[in-house]
Structure 1
Amino acid sequence: MYKVKVYITLRESVLDPQGTAVKGSLQTLGYSSVEDVRIGKYLELTLNERTENIDQAVQEMCDKLLANPVIEDYRYEIEESVAQ
């Protein structure tokens, strides 16, 4: 089995109104040292060992469904997981 951790974030050039709102709230709570907040997504995928070319499969999943390549960037980590 493989566990894939996928991190999806808005591109730097894309405005993040949700991040701006969270930043404002944190500063209102007294966390004045917060200069910027960017909101993203985190996903965990579990793939079986029969999956061929895991790297290519994950890239295709991200490009076709999980991330919007026009406004989002992604990165991922593949870990071999111990079967339970």
Structure 2
Amino acid sequence: MKARVHIMLKTGVLDPQGEAVRHALGTLGFEGVTGVRQGKVIELDLAETDRAKAGADVARMCETLLANTVIEQYDVELL
């Protein structure tokens, strides 16, 4: 089973990388972009075949290592 984890900064947390991308897009002539939030995607190949167990395992991985839950939120997608 595969899991895809989407990690983004929480709403209200400043995103300097996203702001740099927004500014660069404006400089390149893409004036319609008013906000950019940058995140990361992590794909995991799991040996676990039980969806509920896999989802719980990946959530624990996020809580302990993959995401900084103080400033980031995550979403787990099982494929």
**TM-score by shorter chain over 0.5:** yes
The structure where helix makes up a greater share of residues is 2
SS at structure 1 position matched to 2:63: helix
Equivalent AA in structure 1 for residue 42 of structure 2: L
Report the number of matched residues: 78
Change (3 A) 1:18 1:34: same
Kindly state the Cα deviation for residue 72 of structure 1 after the two structures are TM-superposed: 0.1
Kindly state the Cα deviation for residue 21 of structure 1 after the two structures are TM-superposed: 0.6
What is aligned with 1:70? 70
| Residues 24-46 of structure 1 deviation map (CA, whole Å, 9 limit, x = unaligned) | 00000000000100010101000
Equivalent AA in structure 2 for residue 37 of structure 1: V
Identity of aligned residues (%): 47
What is the TM-score when the length of structure 2 is the normalising length? 0.93
Kindly state the Cα deviation for residue 62 of structure 1 after the two structures are TM-superposed: 0.3
Equivalent AA in structure 1 for residue 13 of structure 2: V
| Greater than 6 Å deviation, 4+ residue runs | none
What is aligned with 1:48? 47
Q: Flag structure 2 segments of 5+ consecutive residues without an equivalent.
A: none
Q: Flag structure 1 segments of 5+ consecutive residues without an equivalent.
A: 80-84
What is aligned with 1:60? 60
What is the TM-score when the length of structure 1 is the normalising length? 0.87
Q: CA-atom RMSD, angstroms?
A: 1.4
CA contact under 8 A between 2:6 and 2:39: conserved in structure 1?
A: yes
